[in-house]
Structure 1
Amino acid sequence: MILFWLHRGVFALSEYRIYIRGQVPRSRSLFLTARLTMLFSKASGTKYFGLKGKTLQRAIGGIAGLGFFLFGYDQGVMGGLLNLKTFREQFETINTVDDTSLHTATIQGTAIAVYELGCMVGALSTIYLGDKLGRRKVIYFGTWIIIIGAIIQTASYHLGQLIVGRVVAGIGNGLITATVPMWQSECARPEDRGLMVMIEGCLISGGIALSYWLDFAFFFVKVGSMDWRFPVAFQILIALIIVAFVLEFPESPRWLVKVGREEDAREVWAALENCGPNDDYINYEIHEVKKNLAAEEQMTSWQTFKLIFTYGERKHFHRACLAFWNQAMQQLTGINLITYYAAKIYQDSLHMDDVVSRALAAANGTEYFMASFIPFWSIERFGRRKLMLFGAVGQACTMGILTGTAWAADPNNKDNRAAGIAACVFLFVFNSFFAIGWLGMTWLYPAEITSLEVRAPVSGISTASNWLFNFTVVMICPVGFNSIQSYTYTIFAAINACMVPVIYFLYPETAGRSLEEIDEIFKESNPKTPWDVVGIAARMPKRDHYNYDIESRGNSMGEQYPEGEPKPEHEEVPEGYTSETAGENSNSSVEYPDTTTHQ
């Protein structure tokens, strides 16, 4: 182990020599970047670990993704602990193995689901904190709150203590999940935005898979209550990595412009785009942001919140409703029926033994993680709408099949081993459809669909809706399985089927659009016929983003791009638009050349 880290340290030193020569590093390793930062960044006075361009954007995606990895871990860890003997003995009032009454099932559902209520409170807090503190600081403080909640849970000896710990951790997680997609979307290029947020979705499933395997591994540990305390405590390690590095990354440049810190925004955009701070592209972006903020820039937080419920030219309420229900529908698919109770379903409903049920839950989480890689390729190729429709149709069919197979596998109806195996398979299939169509989508779409001036409060409200319906699902599932058994799946089959026309008629495509282009789409829509926005998005031509002359951009920086490095391409700026015009009144009109392509 010592030799391994010595080798990595030598490699880090060799990579650092690339940084001090002013070149873009070839390595894309986030953890190497972290070590370089700790060793050299402060001493050399460089910012953002010396990263620039796409490398910096990917590093932001990595540290932001750790927040979602932590979110996934927290969601999955409790499911494998509920039936542990030591856990049941410690918290007898939620022991549904020895007490199968409806009352005990209700208490168990409540104790597990209060985490979602904490998340909802945290998400709603970003309505005020999101624009007050900025994106990075909200993530930073939210992660510390998670650490406090995890410590309380790990040290719990009574159910009340466990519940308090879950609520506290939930508040922190709500802050993170409402903020990370905004930060990521506001720092990424239009053509990369979908991929970056899909990576976050992938890391949710990665966290879930890790929690399942850790639960499975510690099932065999027979040292006091270590079998459940260590898996709960493990999340602290992930959280410490986030708090160590998140403040070293750049703030959202769009938020910086919003709060009047234009020079800081130029510096951040220069790093993100690997260009000079007065580059025409940066002038253009700042102009666009200012133009969109001009009418509301003097508003207080309360006035901004009230703005959400207005229509006007920007259609804020319409867009807020789309964001709210997009997040709500993700939970109403029934995914957390499986995520929270996978091991319990395999053991109690499909009658597997302790070891097999936990092994299947871990395998299910692993397959879920692998399926979540598919949107990396498909999110920009097929767009948001098609993936959501694909997922909803597949989920509806799968839940319908699960109703029949789970019923047939119940010994009270007919002891059918083949039906039990089929039910196990379709639990895997459901996760695959969800991973492709919905896992990362609802963390991407609301951040895209809302305008900058209300993005933070709408993100808070929409994320709160996710946690509200998450709470509802996690709360009712133990009661549902206790009362109507396999017919619980029928409810979710019907909901998924109803989602299909809602998505098809009401949700416009946002793939390949800048956030400011999406504003233009909604400006064209009629408030009396909100479904028109789907057709407008389909008809409106897309701009050619980032079509700049690369040599002039390199010259503006006073340096050449290293040989072999990918060179960013930028959108052509209106003729006559320079750094001088960027400082003019943001309400001034600018004639834009025809840089659109029809698709």
Structure 2
Amino acid sequence: MYGRSGNFFGFQGVRLQVAVAVVAGADFLLFGYDQGVTGSLLTLDSFRRYFPSIDTLADGISSSERSTRSTNQGIAVASYNLGSFIGAVACIWLGNALGRRKTIFLGTAVMIVGAILQASSHQLSQFIVGRIVTGFGNGLNTSTVPTWQSECSRSHRRGQLVMIEGALITGGVMLAYWIDFGFYFLDPSEISWRFPLAFQIVFCLFILSFVMSMPESPRWLVYHGKEDEAMHVLGALSDVDPDSQYVREEFHAIKDTVLEASKGSFRDLFTMDENRHFHRTVLAYMNQVFQQISGINLITYYIPNVLQNEVGLSPFLAKLIAACNGTEYFLASWIAVFTIEKVGRRKLMLFGAAGSSSSGIAETVFLFAFNTFFAIGWLGMTWLYPAEIVPLKIRAPANALSTTANWIFNFMVVMITPVAFENIGYRTYIIFAVINAAIFPIVYYFYPETAYRSLEEMDSIFVKCKSVFTVVRIAKEEPRRYGKKGEVLISYDETDMSHRRQSSVTATSAHKQEKDEERKEVV
């Protein structure tokens, strides 16, 4: 299905890639908004009146009752992440069947249902169900959007465009904090929390209006035999004629990989042949784990609560500082957008881990410092790197699987945070500081650089890799097919991967011819 007039609203080349990034970015803006909107609502009088079983601020309750309510609060807030986990698991099977755009459309429609359930809640059970439903749709989306974005981007711009998605997550968080702050003054009116929860529908309607008019992933199209449409999309994304030599080379590179992908199954995620699928799946999975166990969502989900309950600020000041923190978080995230291609993935991840470990043991001031380091090094990285590190043969299920790591560990952190603060107080920060310090050497020794690499080039790198300890070195030494401006440095026909696949095809044809001759002799 092409866009209007068969040309995606007339966009070509960079403009079309930016259009895809805008739609993809709207989804991540929605994702960030959902993460940030609930924390400030927990302390509102009108919200606490409707949901007293998660009200930890009530006077006259015993310590055991407060502990129980902290657990209930963790369940209510983290149920969104549990729904996202289920959605990500479902995407393992739905992703390749529906395609990138249809999966995003479905996930967004589901999120509207969840938003309506949350905003109209009169009982905690309905609120939790609404959060699970919203999370399910978000799980479908966040498992798909990075893959769609990566597969519709040229190698020299892919990192920057996907990192814009990460920046827009913080844009959503910032917007949620400021809307919560503005509607705080309407408390104890119910609109003070019902409107912020319902506002996410605005983002959903934008995505639903445009996503199906954007190009489908050319790799998915080739995978499903829609070769003419794939050529059309490749030409449009590069702003060249679909019959040009450039498009033909890209098409053949993709098709060769797709021929391998057509032989795959979910079980291939766990194989360790020359393509090292399990190795690459683990890298993608742990990349998502590291983002979550850094402790970022302690801040994102609970900063107004932490500032009010743990630091002792007034409700007004806690919400104002939270909104300012969200703004600084958003501004810091743009540093990665302009450095991701120049600096590379590895250095940013190392920078983020080092900075987060050194600033994780303080409170109000260092919450800003933590957000800055995280925004630069890790915020958008886990939506980019897993999509780059795995091959097309397992890309959809591997990215869905890695996203389940994001959500299950997100669920864990959000679930235990109220309980941790209730029982060990400031020591909660120390735990996350130690974890971030441990992430640094793991990234240094095991995570190869993917900047300026086509998705097919990474296949060649891992084929040459014989150990988990050598992939970083091989990635440094392997010649690049594309320059920093996207220019072709090495023709695909001249690469080892092309020769290997041609040899495979020749061997297969020779084997088939031999079998045919044997049958003729028998006859």
Match of 2:47 in 1: 87
Once residues 92 and 398 of structure 1 are traced to their aligned partners in structure 2, the CA distance between those partners, rounded to angstroms, is 35
Match of 2:499 in 1: none
Deviations 1:120-177 (A, max 9, x none): 1111111111110100000000000000000000110000000000000000000010
Once residues 575 and 340 of structure 1 are traced to their aligned partners in structure 2, the CA distance between those partners, rounded to angstroms, is 50
Deviations 1:497-540 (A, max 9, x none): 110111011101111111111111100111xx312101111111
Matched, 1:508 2:435: no
Identity %: 49
What TM-score does the superposition give when structure 2 sets the normalisation length? 0.92
Aligned residue type for 1:233: A
Match of 2:421 in 1: 481
Q: Structure 2 vs 1, CA of residues 274 and 434 (structure 1 numbering), >3 Å: closer, same or farther? A: same
Q: Which moved more, 1:284-293 or 1:333-342?
A: 284-293
Q: Structure 2 vs 1, CA of residues 255 and 571 (structure 1 numbering), >3 Å: closer, same or farther? A: farther
Contact 1:82 1:88 in 2 (8 A): yes
Contact 1:119 1:167 in 2 (8 A): yes
- Give the gaps of 5 or more residues in structure 2: 496-501, 508-523
Match of 1:152 in 2: 117
Aligned residue type for 2:461: I
1:141 to 83, 106, 115: 106
Using the TM superposition, give the Cα deviation of residue 47 of structure 1 relative to its aligned residue in structure 2, in angstroms. 2.4
SS for the counterpart of 2:43 is coil
Aligned residue type for 2:427: Y
Q: Structure 2 vs 1, CA of residues 138 and 574 (structure 1 numbering), >3 Å: closer, same or farther? A: closer
Matched, 1:69 2:38: no
Deviations 1:197-242 (A, max 9, x none): 1000000000000000000000001473000000000000111000
Matched, 1:122 2:62: no
Superposition map of 1:439-588 within 5 A: 439-526=379-466, 529-545=467-483, 569-570=487-488, 573=491, 587=505
Match of 1:247 in 2: 212
Once residues 505 and 22 of structure 2 are traced to their aligned partners in structure 1, the CA distance between those partners, rounded to angstroms, is 37
Match of 2:514 in 1: none
Once residues 482 and 37 of structure 2 are traced to their aligned partners in structure 1, the CA distance between those partners, rounded to angstroms, is 45
Cα RMSD of the aligned pairs, angstroms, is 1.9
Contact 1:290 1:586 in 2 (8 A): no
Matched, 1:103 2:63: no
Aligned residue type for 1:543: R
Using the TM superposition, give the Cα deviation of residue 575 of structure 1 relative to its aligned residue in structure 2, in angstroms. 7.7
Deviations 1:295-352 (A, max 9, x none): 34245xxxx1011110111110000000000001100000000000010011001100
Aligned residue type for 1:257: V
Contact 1:190 1:513 in 2 (8 A): yes
Match of 1:427 in 2: 367
Once residues 90 and 572 of structure 1 are traced to their aligned partners in structure 2, the CA distance between those partners, rounded to angstroms, is 64
Matched, 1:344 2:309: no
Contact 1:291 1:586 in 2 (8 A): no
SS for the counterpart of 1:80 is helix
Once residues 258 and 586 of structure 1 are traced to their aligned partners in structure 2, the CA distance between those partners, rounded to angstroms, is 19
Matched, 1:184 2:144: no
Match of 1:310 in 2: 271
Deviations 1:19-76 (A, max 9, x none): xxxxxxxxxxxxxxxxxx9xxx85xx24211000011001100110100000000000
Once residues 444 and 544 of structure 1 are traced to their aligned partners in structure 2, the CA distance between those partners, rounded to angstroms, is 19
Match of 2:516 in 1: none
Superposition map of 1:232-271 within 5 A: 232-271=197-236
- Give the gaps of 5 or more residues in structure 1: 1-36, 403-422, 548-567, 578-583, 590-599
SS for the counterpart of 1:443 is helix
Contact 2:222 2:258 in 1 (8 A): no
Superposition map of 1:171-320 within 5 A: 171-222=136-187, 224-299=189-264, 304-320=265-281
Match of 1:19 in 2: none
Once residues 493 and 57 of structure 2 are traced to their aligned partners in structure 1, the CA distance between those partners, rounded to angstroms, is 72
Using the TM superposition, give the Cα deviation of residue 259 of structure 1 relative to its aligned residue in structure 2, in angstroms. 1.2
Using the TM superposition, give the Cα deviation of residue 285 of structure 1 relative to its aligned residue in structure 2, in angstroms. 1.4
Aligned residue type for 1:267: H
Q: Which moved more, 1:137-146 or 1:377-386?
A: 377-386
Deviations 1:226-275 (A, max 9, x none): 00000000000111000011000000001111111111100101111111
Using the TM superposition, give the Cα deviation of residue 293 of structure 1 relative to its aligned residue in structure 2, in angstroms. 2.9
Match of 1:54 in 2: 14
SS for the counterpart of 1:511 is coil
Aligned residue type for 1:500: F
Superposition map of 1:371-450 within 5 A: 371-400=332-361, 402=362, 423-450=363-390
Once residues 75 and 311 of structure 2 are traced to their aligned partners in structure 1, the CA distance between those partners, rounded to angstroms, is 23
Aligned residue type for 1:361: A
Once residues 494 and 384 of structure 2 are traced to their aligned partners in structure 1, the CA distance between those partners, rounded to angstroms, is 35
Once residues 455 and 69 of structure 2 are traced to their aligned partners in structure 1, the CA distance between those partners, rounded to angstroms, is 48
Give the number of equivalent residue pairs: 495
Once residues 260 and 217 of structure 2 are traced to their aligned partners in structure 1, the CA distance between those partners, rounded to angstroms, is 21
Contact 1:118 1:166 in 2 (8 A): yes
Contact 2:156 2:484 in 1 (8 A): no
SS for the counterpart of 1:372 is helix
Deviations 1:181-207 (A, max 9, x none): 000000101110110010000000000
Once residues 193 and 585 of structure 1 are traced to their aligned partners in structure 2, the CA distance between those partners, rounded to angstroms, is 31
Q: Structure 2 vs 1, CA of residues 74 and 534 (structure 1 numbering), >3 Å: closer, same or farther? A: same
Q: Which moved more, 1:536-545 or 1:324-333?
A: 536-545
Q: Structure 2 vs 1, CA of residues 283 and 237 (structure 1 numbering), >3 Å: closer, same or farther? A: same
Q: Structure 2 vs 1, CA of residues 540 and 298 (structure 1 numbering), >3 Å: closer, same or farther? A: closer
Using the TM superposition, give the Cα deviation of residue 276 of structure 1 relative to its aligned residue in structure 2, in angstroms. 1.2
Q: Structure 2 vs 1, CA of residues 289 and 71 (structure 1 numbering), >3 Å: closer, same or farther? A: same
SS for the counterpart of 1:308 is helix
Once residues 467 and 450 of structure 1 are traced to their aligned partners in structure 2, the CA distance between those partners, rounded to angstroms, is 19
Once residues 315 and 279 of structure 1 are traced to their aligned partners in structure 2, the CA distance between those partners, rounded to angstroms, is 34
Aligned residue type for 1:587: V
Once residues 494 and 350 of structure 2 are traced to their aligned partners in structure 1, the CA distance between those partners, rounded to angstroms, is 44
Once residues 323 and 305 of structure 1 are traced to their aligned partners in structure 2, the CA distance between those partners, rounded to angstroms, is 15
Once residues 362 and 95 of structure 1 are traced to their aligned partners in structure 2, the CA distance between those partners, rounded to angstroms, is 22
Q: Which moved more, 1:47-56 or 1:221-230?
A: 221-230
Contact 1:281 1:571 in 2 (8 A): no
Aligned residue type for 1:485: G
Match of 2:510 in 1: none
What TM-score does the superposition give when structure 1 sets the normalisation length? 0.80
Once residues 83 and 493 of structure 2 are traced to their aligned partners in structure 1, the CA distance between those partners, rounded to angstroms, is 51
Aligned residue type for 1:486: Y
Q: Structure 2 vs 1, CA of residues 575 and 496 (structure 1 numbering), >3 Å: closer, same or farther? A: closer
Once residues 430 and 291 of structure 1 are traced to their aligned partners in structure 2, the CA distance between those partners, rounded to angstroms, is 44
Using the TM superposition, give the Cα deviation of residue 425 of structure 1 relative to its aligned residue in structure 2, in angstroms. 1.4
Once residues 91 and 126 of structure 1 are traced to their aligned partners in structure 2, the CA distance between those partners, rounded to angstroms, is 33
Aligned residue type for 1:537: A
Structure in which a larger fraction of residues adopt helix? 2
Using the TM superposition, give the Cα deviation of residue 570 of structure 1 relative to its aligned residue in structure 2, in angstroms. 4.6
